[in-house]
Amino acid sequence: MSKVIFTAALTGAIHTPSMSPYLPFTPQQLIDDAERCYNAGAAVVHVHARNPENGSPSSDGAIFKEVLSGVKARCKVVITPTTGGSPTMTPEERIAVVRALEPEMATFNAGSLNFALYPVLQKYKEFKYEWEEAYLAGTESFIFSNHFHSLHVFSKTMNEVGARPELEIYDVGHINNLAQLVSEGYLKEPLYLQFVLGILGGIPATTNHLMHLINTARNQLGDFRWSVCAAGRFQFPMGVVAMLEGGFMRVGLEDNLYLEKGVLAKSSAEQIEKAIRIGRELGFEPATPDEAREILQLKGIDKVKY
């Protein structure tokens, strides 16, 4: 069986601190968590920056630099910073980390969609920080904008610094966007797709929808590798389908706060351990960071600017 790349998405910009005491948001917590995930078998960690004072999503380059260089000093895991940022960031703020730190890989959101988090307000009533409730409520009128001009600017910037775009696909039309970008020369194959399932505003997390995405990509794109990132309770089931279909798996507290029903995960590393345990039962071995670099044709950690 070929190797599976396990990715740990440490913190994101979806969950807020009051939803789990285990959600890391200071640089030190993120560095420690990244190392724990590496030791648990993750080949890639995906990182957002957050304000260390109150856990609010941040595009501050100094925070990204502190986290990425801190992780690199501990272990040679592949680090994929976000260019998705948060609902409160401009495209320029979102792409700044790629220009500044020239990472091996960065997320690239392949199209626009509603990105709604407001329904969680039915579950969470008390908040520790004043920003949390307004942030979540504000997503009722938020469109996650990734129009073609921004897709052109983001892909051009990543090409210039040799950062591989991890192409986040939230719905089937986003695959067509990528086919257009390939035809225009902005993206070069082999591509690396991250099918993101279960975001309210994007494609639901079902096996049928995932198979539709895979088959559409096989029809519309040339050579590609792919992974699955599913939200909440769909994280592990859809990750198993991914492995069985020859894909890779992303877990982490960015996408799911739980280890199992009703049990909060104490770190993304616990989810990595569970994912690798399940994978091994099915005959899949985790790829090392260097194996992931080979599979994804990354430039190497010696060529980053952090």
Q: Where on the chain is the footprint of ligand KMH (CB under 6 A)?
A: 9, 12, 14, 82-84, 107, 109, 168, 196, 199, 254
At its nearest, how many Å lie between ligand KMH and the CB of residue 14?
6
167 touches, from ligand KMH, Zn ion, none (C-beta below 5 to 8 Å by class):
none
The phi, psi pair for 123, rounded to 5°, reads -100, -40
The residue with its CB nearest to ligand KMH is: 84
Rounded distance between C-alpha atoms, residue 234 and residue 261, angstroms: 11
At its nearest, how many Å lie between ligand KMH and the CB of residue 279?
21
Out of 82, 83, 150, 177, the residue judged to bind Zn ion by CB under 5 A: 82
At its nearest, how many Å lie between ligand KMH and the CB of residue 168?
5
199 touches, from Zn ion, ligand KMH, none (C-beta below 5 to 8 Å by class):
ligand KMH
267 touches, from ligand KMH, Zn ion, none (C-beta below 5 to 8 Å by class):
none
Pairs from 30-34 (Cβ < 8 Å, separation ≥ 24)? 30/67, 30/70, 30/71, 31/67, 31/70, 31/71, 31/74, 33/8, 33/267, 33/268, 33/269, 34/8, 34/10, 34/67, 34/71, 34/74, 34/75, 34/77, 34/79
**Residue 235 in contact with Zn ion, rule: CB under 5 A:** no
In the beta sheet, which residues pair with residue 106? 165
At its nearest, how many Å lie between ligand KMH and the CB of residue 199?
5
**Residue 58 in contact with Zn ion, rule: CB under 5 A:** no
Q: Which residue, 126 or 165, is less far from ligand KMH as judged by CB? A: 165
Rounded distance between C-alpha atoms, residue 73 and residue 237, angstroms: 34
Q: Which residue, 84 or 289, is less far from ligand KMH as judged by CB? A: 84
Contact 277, 249 (CB under 8 A): no
- 3-class secondary-structure state, position 178: helix
- Look at the block and give the residue holding tokens 């703020």: 93
Cβ density class 118-147: b for 16+ within 10 Å, e for less: bebeeeeeebeeebbbebbeebeebebebe
Candidate ranges 5-13, 53-61, 86-94, 278-286; the one touching Zn ion (CB under 5 A): 5-13
83 touches, from ligand KMH, Zn ion, none (C-beta below 5 to 8 Å by class):
ligand KMH
At its nearest, how many Å lie between Zn ion and the CB of residue 26?
18
At its nearest, how many Å lie between ligand KMH and the CB of residue 88?
14
DSSP string, 112-135: -EE---GGGGGT----SSTHHHHH
Q: Which residue, 144 or 306, is less far from ligand KMH as judged by CB? A: 144
At its nearest, how many Å lie between ligand KMH and the CB of residue 240?
19
Contact 77, 37 (CB under 8 A): yes
168 touches, from ligand KMH, Zn ion, none (C-beta below 5 to 8 Å by class):
ligand KMH
Q: Which residue, 2 or 272, is less far from ligand KMH as judged by CB? A: 272
Q: Using CB under 5 A as the criterion, which residues of the chain lie in contact with Zn ion when the complex forms?
A: 12, 82
